[in-house]
Amino acid sequence: MSSHGITRADMQHVHLPRRRRVNRLMEGLAMLAALIAVGMLVIVVWSVAKRGAGAINLDLITKNPVPFSFEPVAQGLANAFVGSLVLVGLATLMALPVGILVAVYLNEFAPPSVRTFVGLALDVLNGVPAIVIGIFVFGLVVIGRGQSGWAGAFALACLMLPLVARSTMEVLALVPSSLREASLALGVARWRTTLSIVLPQTIGGVLTGTVLAVARVSGETAPLLFTSSIVGTQTSWSPFHALQSVPVAIFELSESPDPQDHARAWAAALVLLLFILFTSLAARWLATRSRRKLAASR
Amino acid sequence: MSSAELTPEATRRPFTGPRVRFGDLVLQVVAGAAAAAATVLVGLITWKVIDGAWPAITQYGVRFVTRVAWNPVVSHELYGAGSFLFGTAVTSLLALAIAAPLSIGIALYLTELAPRFLRGPVTALVETLAAIPSVVIGLWGILVLGPVLRDHVEPGLHSALGFIPLFGAPSTSGSSMFTAIIVLTIMILPIVSSISRELFLGVPSELKEGALALGTTRWEMVRGVMFPYARGGIAAALILGLGRAVGEAIAVTQVIGGGVFIHWNLFDSGDTLASKIAASYQGATSKLQVGSLIYLALILLVFSLVMNLAAQWIVRRVARRQGLGART
């Protein structure tokens, strides 16, 4: 909407040119701010793509790092990719069922006061810095038993839980109550109504939330530093000892003075970034799709 | 009517059945246990962090919070959070000071100015910025941004504004509080701008159109109608952004350089609470040092709890007030 019509109104007088200048200045600044944000994204992604693309090869995901060598050898980060897969996979297995159950309880059973209280706890949990979560799991499990994949996965699960629970609650709230009432009126038990009528409606939303949570924690370094970072260079699938992960590997390589290490860090960063961008896009697509479906059924 | 036989329970029996369905009970108990576990987790985190910090708490008490010291040399051990608190305050407050006007500008552009076909894509791009892992931003910060700032930005700022102590001698390594501030700005920008955007979208269009119809320019409408309407929400968004900046460990560790001192030169290295913890993940040996590190985590935890609850409280208060406003 342009403001041309207003300029001729009676109340506009001497200051009008200045007011319009201020207006144009502010509009320009707002546009500049948006440009800066998009520019930042482009610069970061471009930097990673430019430096990472040259260093990506099959060795990156098939070969393990070589600890000490005087001549250049083909090495990769296979142990980190495998470790990340195990850690994020286990974290999802821990957080997903609990998150869904929390959401079901809060949306279907809990009295309003409990709902507010637990909702607040979820928000607080979501706000706890990732490094503090790492320290918490360090104090809970690692002191005494040592680092392990389980400890790392549990730390990641703590970060995923509020995300999964919140997104599940959002879709549960969208399920029309007429569906519940229809099922209950037919004499179907509450638990069956919840499990086989209400929950299936939310699959799209739950999936979206899970994918977003996976995207978020697969890039998390802080919770793993104290729980699953002191590792060898061999590939391992067993969560009973510490596992390397892609973000921790990038973190360590970025602090190294060796340019070869930097090249591998950029390559790993590019793979991680592509994975996260792809999953976020997939989540976005899933979200619009499932929301449209729910809205249609309403 | 023989009320002796027909108790209220008895009259209801044919319709609802008094027996508790076993499945209902199981689901409710299991789901309730999950909800209880999520709540207990918050308490458990607090307890475990206090428990881990206990050696340092009993040794140093509250004095720890302000003391500037971090000396792990055996038999000369002395720890304190002072310099890290200072570093945290400087980096996150300055990052917030840069990010706040930018975010509000972005939100205004996305809600009021951008052509319709641009709004969706630009919103998605800004939100994508939030999805970039901090370790990747840190990698970029240490290998790309740091050197650029050191060679091109810091000397210029120093020669132009060197009389302000903040802009001292340029760093030699590229690791500096200044780099950390820029990195943090990038990380909190998408958070604050996406919340502000939603707040601006919520401003009733009657109010906006009313102001425009009275002859205000668009900026005057924004200042006179949208800002007052969204003020509380923006405060909450800024608090959440600050919380993110304070708690960010990895990217800051990568770019800030480290060190235990208080100085005002942004171009020198420093440390924050979170970055000190992250940087020490392999080094802590003595019980007291581990306790002190966890003490730092405890300070962070208290910060994040306070800021989160403050943001929640503001949001709730604003929602209630606007709910009342809408009804009257």
Helix axes A259-297, A16-55, angle to 10 degrees: 120
How many domains, chain A? 2
Does residue A26 sit within a domain?
A: yes
Which phi and psi (to 5°) does residue A297 adopt?
Answer: -75, -10
Stretch B128-141: mean pLDDT: 92
Judgement on whether residues A18 and A159 belong to the same structural domain of the protein: no
Q: Specify the amino acid at residue B48.
A: K
Does residue A105 sit within a domain?
A: yes
The rounded distance, in Å, linking the Cα atoms of A88 and A276 is 13
What is each CA distance from B38 to A136, A165, A282, A286, B42, in whole angstroms? 15, 10, 28, 27, 7
Nearest to A254 among B113, B128, B139 (CB): B139
What is each CA distance from B79 to B69, B70, B194, B213, in whole angstroms? 5, 4, 39, 62
The rounded distance, in Å, linking the Cα atoms of A12 and A14 is 7
In percent, how much of chain B has pLDDT > 70? Answer: 92
pLDDT band of residue B328 (cuts 50, 70, 90) is very low
Q: Which residues pair with B78 in a beta bridge?
A: B71
Give the pLDDT of residue A5: 40
Minimum mean pLDDT among A269-283, B6-20, B221-235, B309-323: which range?
B6-20
Helix axes B82-108, B177-201, angle to 10 degrees: 40
**Best of B20, B30, B41 to mutate (most A CBs within 10 Å, chain A):** B41
* CB-side neighbour CA atoms (13 Å) of B304: 28
Judgement on whether residues A115 and A208 belong to the same structural domain of the protein: yes
Q: Which residue of B has its CA nearest to A96?
A: B34
Nearest CA distance, B16 vs chain A (angstrom)? 10
Does residue A70 sit within a domain?
A: no
CATH of the domain at A247: 1.10.3720.10
Kindly report, residue by residue over A204-254, the tens digit of the pLDDT.
888 888 999 999 999 999 999 999 888 877 888 888 888 899 999 999 998
Give the pLDDT of residue A234: 81
Judgement on whether residues A231 and A124 belong to the same structural domain of the protein: yes
Q: Which residue of A has its CA nearest to B243?
A: A127
> In B38-103, at which residue ranges do the beta strands (DSSP E only) sit?
70-71, 78-79
Judgement on whether residues A216 and A259 belong to the same structural domain of the protein: yes
Kindly report, residue by residue over A270-289, the tens digit of the pLDDT.
999 999 999 988 888 888 88
Judgement on whether residues A46 and A98 belong to the same structural domain of the protein: no
Token pair of A110 as six digits: 């809990």
Q: Which residue of A has its CA nearest to B24?
A: A191
Judgement on whether residues A36 and A121 belong to the same structural domain of the protein: no
Q: Which residue of A has its CA nearest to B191?
A: A37
Give the pLDDT of residue B14: 47
Look over chain B and give the mean of its residue pLDDT values, rounded to a whole number: 87
Count of positions (residues) in chain B = 328
Q: Is B127 exposed, middle or buried (0-12, 13-18, 19+ CB in 10 A)?
A: middle
Give ∠ CA A159-A294-A116 in degrees, rounded to 5.
45
Which phi and psi (to 5°) does residue B79 adopt?
Answer: -130, 150
Range picked from B75-79, B120-124, B235-239 for highest mean pLDDT:
B235-239
Nearest to B250 among A109, A190, A221 (CB): A221
Judgement on whether residues A17 and A157 belong to the same structural domain of the protein: no
Give the pLDDT of residue A70: 66
Does residue A159 sit within a domain?
A: yes
Does residue A63 sit within a domain?
A: no
Interchain proximity A37–B220, CB inside 8 Å: no
Does residue A193 sit within a domain?
A: yes
Judgement on whether residues A164 and A51 belong to the same structural domain of the protein: no
Judgement on whether residues A164 and A277 belong to the same structural domain of the protein: yes
Helical H runs in chain A? 16-55, 58-62, 78-104, 112-127, 130-137, 143-145, 149-174, 177-185, 190-192, 199-201, 203-217, 222-225, 246-254, 259-297
Judgement on whether residues A11 and A140 belong to the same structural domain of the protein: no
What is each CA distance from B107 to A44, B29, B126, in whole angstroms? 21, 44, 10
Judgement on whether residues A33 and A87 belong to the same structural domain of the protein: no
Phi-psi category of residue B175: left, alpha or beta, with phi > 0 → left and psi -120 to 50 → alpha: beta
Does residue A226 sit within a domain?
A: yes
Token pair of B214 as six digits: 């009275």
List the domain range (segments joined by +) for residue A41: 4-55
In chain B, the largest separation of any two C-alpha atoms, in whole Å, equals 99
Q: Structure pTM?
A: 0.89
**Best of B30, B40, B98, B132 to mutate (most A CBs within 10 Å, chain A):** B132
Contacts of B31 in chain A (CB under 8 A): 101-102, 104-105, 108-109
Predicted confidence (pLDDT) at residue B42 exceeds the cutoff of 90: yes
Tell which residue, B126, B136, B118, B77, has the closest CA to residue B99.
B126
Judgement on whether residues A91 and A44 belong to the same structural domain of the protein: no
Tell which residue, A65, A49, A41, has the closest CA to residue A271.
A49
Torsion (CA) B182, B187, B188, B191 in degrees, nearest 10: 150
Structural domains in chain B, sorted by start: 70-327 (1.10.3720.10)
Q: Specify the amino acid at residue B34.
A: A
Nearest CA distance, B20 vs chain A (angstrom)? 10
Does residue A67 sit within a domain?
A: no
In this structure, are residues B237 and B200 in contact, taking their beta carbons and an 8 Å threshold? no
Q: What is the count of residue pairs from A and B with beta carbons less than 8 Å apart?
A: 276
Segments of chain A scoring below 70 in pLDDT: 1-14, 68-72, 297-298
Token pair of B230 as six digits: 């969204």
Which phi and psi (to 5°) does residue B257 adopt?
Answer: 95, -35
Interchain proximity A219–B186, CB inside 8 Å: no
